[in-house]
Structure 1
Amino acid sequence: MNLLTQIKHKTQKGEEVIMDIGAKASNVLPENFVEQKERSNLAAKDKLPVIFGKLSKWYADLRPVAWSGSYSDLTNKPTIPEGSAANYQVANNDTTEAEGFVADARIVRTHGLEIDGLSRD
Structure 2
Amino acid sequence: MVGWLGATLLVLALNWTTQSVTPRPLQYEGVGPLWHLPALETRRLYALLLGGTLLFPLLASFERRIRYFARWPRLFAACGLVGSFFILWDVAFTAWGVWGFNPRYYSGIELLGLPWEEWA
Bin for the TM-score computed over the shorter chain: under 0.3
Structure with the higher helix share, 1 or 2: 2
Higher Cα Rg, which structure? 1
Bigger share in strand: 1
Determine which structure has greater relative contact order: mean sequence separation of CA pairs < 8 Å that are 6+ residues apart, divided by chain length. 2
TM-score of the pair, normalised by structure 2: 0.20
